[in-house]
Structure 1
């Protein structure tokens, strides 16, 4: 029996799977037909020998009669071992195989699977025409999905004939980065690393056309930044514009065929295709003699090294090295790097030039001595993506990592030259205080054992020489050991670390204090063992091995004359801040962050949150009791344990050593090769909790730690501004147009935010990343694509989204919260926004008021507010409102859309209309000049308008206008209405207009004789008893008694007056009908309107307020009333009266016409007589107000449809009075 797909156990001989009858104690365990969907066939390990039904506390137990059942308790009969061995059933687990090609999109093989009524427990060549191993991805092969099995053969791989490398393009697969990496490794390959333009060109030529995104081997390491997963040097840059992204969790890279085969960073959990790579046989390293060096040069690995602290430009430094017979240092491998950091006197504050540069080819780094680039050790964030300057490389920082800088900067430097074959007389003595054969580093001497021994035997051998198995306190110590043994042919060397006594806790043979660890991939796992350092390409990493292995070892002791380090006196640490709890005896405090599910974070977001408040995710180094009572019961939260990249093992995000493990039983299992971050699980029955590995992109609560005495939050000012690196920020989550947003910031002595660095961009993005919507920045883009920060900051960093910026209009920038990139937006749109200021304003400081510009307008421009307008047409006019390339209608100058004046039919059917709005009015800023008085006539088309700010009766207001040879205003079109409406809004008071029905025969007619072609009556207007009309501050017309006093508007016109048409008298016949429908209805705005759009200049309502939506006229008194649309009424039609055409001289036409009239008259008389004799109501028929393509149903009148079409289509009228 063996493990197989889906956590099942497969009996090879029976071709069946182990399963349980149920999920209860005593359920029989037996062999069943394999079913990958059955929970009763899924098992998990609780330790090396204990098997349980998955997610159940039910364990396999062998009964005395050798039957198998589920039990709740555990004992000797629950311990399962592999037949013929002492190994437990869980010591050999199953490795899932990812398919290649076929039609399964890279899914894992399903074993066993049935094909043509046969069961297959392994890959097979059955029915394969090319005799290639394949498998199915479903148990029953229902959908016939299959793929080839991974092998180490390169038979079907394209070969680069120049380099001898093989490539496999998996364009049809969809895997995460980790799964793709595992798929390549299953074929003895790795995800492709691209280290020069020639390889990039070869791969680009092999990728088929289309929008393909394929994983490559580039991953983000928390210490070294971007590096290749197969340890190839990161010397060539091919990033797409804007990449790599600074977003948390974007730690992997893919090649984008649609983007000229450039690289883009991405979340590693995306599912994409991928490229695998197999290089040729690695070259045999040359045998290098150690050689000799004269003082002050120090020998290592066949070369001499000299550190200079005199600062020079890169080219001058190179010149100095060449004068001494060498060149700027070439770092060939991790051993050279470790030697420089540990044995040249390098200090953590040094910044020293090395020979790497991209002077010859931008983005391609080479050594100055033309050596092959085989190793890099970049600092996080380097090399910078830049195309505007040559870059030279320096080594700096505590770990001696590399950064690229301008070659013109001045720094110290390291020279290197070939060592001599003869010993000089002035060698530097390196191993003072150490016995012969021992090597000194710092205050200690080290010796490499010459024989292989078990861990315990090596420990005793070191003790016999007055030393101990080496401990490692920091990276520099580890680097020295790498320089000591990294180039040796042996694979491992014992260090003094083990977890022999307690599988959860690692200790050194000489001390319990573990201050540094450097685990290899998959380490330390959950097993007990002893620790050895690796050599070769992975030199310096630590593996956990069985302590009985025979390996060489490193001994260590204090050098003669060296003084031991005196420990600092213990001080009482400060207390934890409110809400934070002490972490054991450490000088750290921790806090559990939880809340609604919407506020949970990925591991990366949680880490960045903790770092942003001055701490990090919690690291755990001992069992701390009562976590459940402190934090929660039945909870889980992220901790800082994670695998930063595939080439290393678990590390704590705060850099502390991984010296303690507390995994849940069966963990870590790296399910689907996709779990590399740890969560802390807390149960009420388990005081100390336990750990579980999870996908880093999952959402979870989190545990932060901060040093004692730290507040653990961002500092905020008294007025709520967030402080960061000497600046202050305010995040306003209330959407506003740009103008209002900027005014808000200025009231706080700031401005809309400017962003000057990637760190600042990331900081702000983190503050808003879990909220909804977008945020205004203070960046403006003009029509020519130029941009500027509103606060005057220089343009530096730019983080444009794809296809941005869009400079079709004057735009401001919004911050895309999902990606941290920038996108343009019309300034009138409402968004949240971010303010920024340099510091807190003085107490009681006030903002200087904005002074409006003074001046007037040259003809033919018209002043309004601080703008001037020019009307360039006398018909329909364009205005600046449009929906071009934006969602909704906004003003072209970016002003907020505070007011609209849509017609009902336009606003209702807006989506069917064109993108621009008619009303063409030019608009510009006022040029300062002598200010004109306000009581003048302002040109508006053919009219001139003046606002009179005196409280007068209607009669006095009209006389005042007549004194100017004008009249009270006639509002004959919408823009005159709009202009006067704006006057009333600014005046905040109503104004008389030229309507007074006492002066115009009881009808509402303009006093200057103009026809009423436009009205804007308020709800319930016009009133029957109040004859004079004014415009209110909301633009609506209302009636009032004429003796009221108020402001007024005069108008002078040069246009021709069009007299109103004469109306036909309508005679109401008093017969059997008490009322008739007339063509009056209430609009959706609540105002009354005639169906033919004739203005409502006369009303004759009964005393009651109209309650319903349709007008009728009574036959007894002629008064108007309202009725419900579904009532049956007789109705009156109306048509304009026209003149008769002249008679033709053709007598036949005369005769025909007379006969026709006679016939029609006779028929009408007969019909009328029949009608008068009939007591039935009038029949209904298709109404001429609208056309319905559907046949009307008998006896049904669709009044809703009648009015709807009447408003939209403006058909012939029924009746207008």
Structure 2
């Protein structure tokens, strides 16, 4: 390691507190609810319980990986000598590979990963042991909270520069005979903090610098804008890891919104050769391309042929070899990346707050946010529509935030079948979209697969369409309805309208009246306040009610508003205060999370999204009650009389049919492939909404696969700015366990039914290949199964696989990279190179299921076999 000199100075430094102070939120005491004692490590051999004492280092623990708990005092990890009943809990040198140190939460119990062996409290001062049964007294929580131990999950710290290709820090690590549990500046004269990326720096000398939010020496600055950029071309991280690395520096993966910015970046990376991750992604499977961090996607710089249509290519790279243009790739490739940090936070469009409906609008126009809006349904081409709006002293509508979008969707009479012109277009500069009224582009919300800019590149105008009112680029000569926006009438204020079916101060929408509470109170106080007005904390039945409430509170300066959803009765099972079924969810990023609590609507950039908050936090709130003299039409929940197709299972209480698809190993599918298969036959990957559906699916799995192989279901956690969701849009509210299985790693996982007799839900890498379960609605015609690609390969006499103009040899033997290369060269080949995604998928599918290292001549592809040789058909080395 350069600039690290280990001398007598280091001996002195080792006794000086040079590491980062351990954050309080990372360290916790392990509290037993029954005994009221805390875990204490008296020595590496004696782990017992004692009266809780926050100041005692012997009682402090922290997660140092997804499944390892470390004693802060001894820098060793909790573990067992074997997986047996009554096995003694002790401390061991931390080893990420040891199955005896891997723990997982089962609600409030703590168990050895994958085993029914639970941490048992025992009696005071007795050593803690494993037990085969989890008893009521074996409930462990973080001291001083109601949260289980896994709510304080570990987060990898990704390194910069160094010699480890951006690999995360390993804690604890050994340096000059001392264990370090945090980043340190030991041995450096420049004050930069660093960490080892293996357990022993003394042996491996692998390191990187730790991220910091306030250090600018690793950044380049655009002299024109003052924006900072960090080019991590030597790193090899997935898209999600790259984004996390940027966020750990108070930055974000690169977004490009201006042409000048693209030109500056092209020059900055001109000497680089490998593609670099940027923030562009299509990870929200219900919408189109978006920049991470919520920045508007208004400038397009795709390389020719991109974005490619493969369903797993959801993340974008900037390719220096193609004039810095963008391509879409699978998010799990390991690449370098670009971070971006603004010099200052700017909000180019400040919308008015407070009473935004006090303005006066012309007849038939509706006010919102200090402007007036109106839908016209007489079909016109885009320019004709703009002229029509101009004649009313307005322009085609510009939409600047989720609140305005929600208002248009819920209050202007928008229909799910509508296609309406809005003002966004790229008529002035191709691929650079602007609002026709000249206001800044601060918000975009594209439909899935959009924008496409098809029809010989002439889709220059934008429509609002679909049930969510998302956007698509379209040919400007289509005749469609349109939305106008104008300033209010000058010098005239409008008297606030009161619906006679609602009390003063309440707002009418549909069959209900709504009240915005103007005092900040706890959840229970808000509930009581609404009940005193003969109402209740609001429930949300669908996307349109959600859009209305977003528009109602979104312009407020308050961060949160309570709604009537919580899991106070049963942790993990969310219920409305009215007892209504949860038919719709709109979770924010990382939600519902692991902690029990009450649900509040966000405002600001995340307007309308749902966060789980401590119920004792004080926030404003939303009340709801039925409008006077209004009867809500009865909603039929009758189960369909239609039969399921032959071979599909159901129950008397569900409108869905389910079928498991079991395939040979080389025909199993990734999560994306399984979802596409289900959609092509008329359904989707299954959602599981209740115990009845869970039972149906468990029974069909037992019939189909007695060996308990995993089956994909529709649960996914891909969108970095969204929460858990089902692929068919069903609400996520069933099963407490999903909260613990899905939130201990970064977003990159998909849901499956586990490969164990209990058939529990598990999270898996989305590109693993498994069997799968499809769901179709009763009465839906079943379409023919799509024909998959042939998985039969020609094999030479000496065992080489023929694929196209190349031959491959997959070695089952483990060996070093150099020995693997020698073997390949002795057979007239070389270690495999992977030149495109088709070749990557071929190798991945051939070797799936073998979880050891594959040596290729490329660092960036994370594949899993011992070694692979590649040779041309004519015998010349590839």
TM class by shorter chain equals: 0.7 to 0.9
Aligned-pair CA distance for 1:129: 3.1
Residues 402-801 of structure 1 mapped to structure 2, 5 A cutoff: 402-423=471-492, 431=499, 433-568=501-636, 570=638, 572-583=640-651, 585-624=653-692, 625=695, 627-632=697-702, 633=706, 634-663=708-737, 666-671=740-745, 673=746, 675-681=748-754, 683-684=756-757, 686=758, 689-714=759-784, 767-769=787-789, 771-772=791-792
> Which ranges in structure 2 are unaligned for 5 or more consecutive residues?
1-60, 795-835, 843-871
Aligned-pair CA distance for 1:135: 0.1
Aligned to 2:444: 376
Aligned-pair CA distance for 1:428: 10
Local SS of the residue matching 2:754: strand
Match 2:367 to one of 277, 299, 302 = 299
Aligned to 1:196: 258
In 1, Cα distance between equivalents of 2:73 and 2:332: 38
In 2, Cα distance between equivalents of 1:636 and 1:39: 21
Aligned-pair CA distance for 1:430: 7.5
In 2, Cα distance between equivalents of 1:413 and 1:573: 41
Aligned to 1:217: 279
In 2, Cα distance between equivalents of 1:475 and 1:389: 32
Q: Is the 8 A contact 1:628 1:682 kept in 2?
A: no
Aligned to 2:77: 17
Local SS of the residue matching 1:316: helix
1:185 aligns with 2:247: yes
Q: 1:404 to 1:820 in 2, by over 3 A?
A: farther
In 1, Cα distance between equivalents of 2:261 and 2:303: 17
Aligned to 2:23: none
Q: Is the 8 A contact 1:136 1:144 kept in 2?
A: yes
1:485-520 Cα shifts (integer Å, max 9, x gaps): 111111111112222223343322224322211111
1:61 aligns with 2:113: no
Q: 1:585 to 1:4 in 2, by over 3 A?
A: same
Local SS of the residue matching 2:737: coil
1:325 aligns with 2:389: no
Match 1:119 to one of 167, 172, 179 = 179
Local SS of the residue matching 2:221: coil
Aligned to 1:35: 95
1:921-980 Cα shifts (integer Å, max 9, x gaps): xxxxxxxxxxxxxxxxxxxxxxxxxxxxxxxxxxxxxxxxxxxxxxxxxxxxxxxxxxxx
Q: Is the 8 A contact 2:592 2:723 kept in 1?
A: yes
Question: 147-156 or 131-140: which moved more?
Answer: 147-156
Q: Is the 8 A contact 1:392 1:406 kept in 2?
A: yes
Match 1:162 to one of 224, 235, 240 = 224
Q: 1:820 to 1:385 in 2, by over 3 A?
A: farther
In 2, Cα distance between equivalents of 1:163 and 1:473: 45
Aligned to 1:393: 462
Q: Is the 8 A contact 2:516 2:621 kept in 1?
A: yes
Q: 1:820 to 1:2 in 2, by over 3 A?
A: closer
Q: 1:88 to 1:768 in 2, by over 3 A?
A: closer
Q: Is the 8 A contact 2:351 2:369 kept in 1?
A: no
Q: 1:84 to 1:63 in 2, by over 3 A?
A: same
Local SS of the residue matching 1:451: strand
Aligned to 2:407: 339
Aligned to 1:171: 233
Aligned to 1:104: 164
Q: Which has the bigger relative contact order, CA under 8 A and spacing at least 6?
A: 2
Q: 1:29 to 1:85 in 2, by over 3 A?
A: same
Q: Is the 8 A contact 2:554 2:607 kept in 1?
A: yes
Superposed CA RMSD: 2.8
In 2, Cα distance between equivalents of 1:367 and 1:91: 44
Q: Is the 8 A contact 1:627 1:682 kept in 2?
A: no
Aligned-pair CA distance for 1:471: 1.4
Aligned-pair CA distance for 1:82: 4.7
Q: 1:109 to 1:89 in 2, by over 3 A?
A: same
In 1, Cα distance between equivalents of 2:78 and 2:572: 32
Aligned to 1:26: 86
After TM superposition, the score normalised by the length of structure 2 is 0.79
Aligned to 1:367: 435
In 2, Cα distance between equivalents of 1:80 and 1:364: 55
In 2, Cα distance between equivalents of 1:605 and 1:174: 26
> Which ranges in structure 1 are unaligned for 5 or more consecutive residues?
716-765, 775-814, 822-886, 889-909, 913-1217
In 2, Cα distance between equivalents of 1:358 and 1:448: 39
After TM superposition, the score normalised by the length of structure 1 is 0.57
Match 1:229 to one of 289, 292, 306 = 292
Aligned-pair CA distance for 1:568: 3.8
Residues 1025-1040 of structure 1 mapped to structure 2, 5 A cutoff: none
1:1126-1183 Cα shifts (integer Å, max 9, x gaps): xxxxxxxxxxxxxxxxxxxxxxxxxxxxxxxxxxxxxxxxxxxxxxxxxxxxxxxxxx
In 1, Cα distance between equivalents of 2:699 and 2:513: 48
In 1, Cα distance between equivalents of 2:68 and 2:640: 54
Q: 1:262 to 1:79 in 2, by over 3 A?
A: same
Q: Is the 8 A contact 2:712 2:772 kept in 1?
A: yes
1:279-322 Cα shifts (integer Å, max 9, x gaps): 23333563627322121221110111122112222112212222
Bigger Rg, structure 1 or 2: 1
In 1, Cα distance between equivalents of 2:156 and 2:114: 20
In 1, Cα distance between equivalents of 2:216 and 2:637: 67
Q: 1:462 to 1:257 in 2, by over 3 A?
A: same
Q: Is the 8 A contact 1:494 1:551 kept in 2?
A: yes
Local SS of the residue matching 1:631: helix
Aligned to 1:286: 350
1:52 aligns with 2:52: no
Q: Is the 8 A contact 2:660 2:701 kept in 1?
A: yes
1:245 aligns with 2:308: yes
Residues 67-82 of structure 1 mapped to structure 2, 5 A cutoff: 67-75=127-135, 78-82=138-142
Q: 1:81 to 1:544 in 2, by over 3 A?
A: closer
Local SS of the residue matching 1:557: strand
1:153 aligns with 2:214: yes
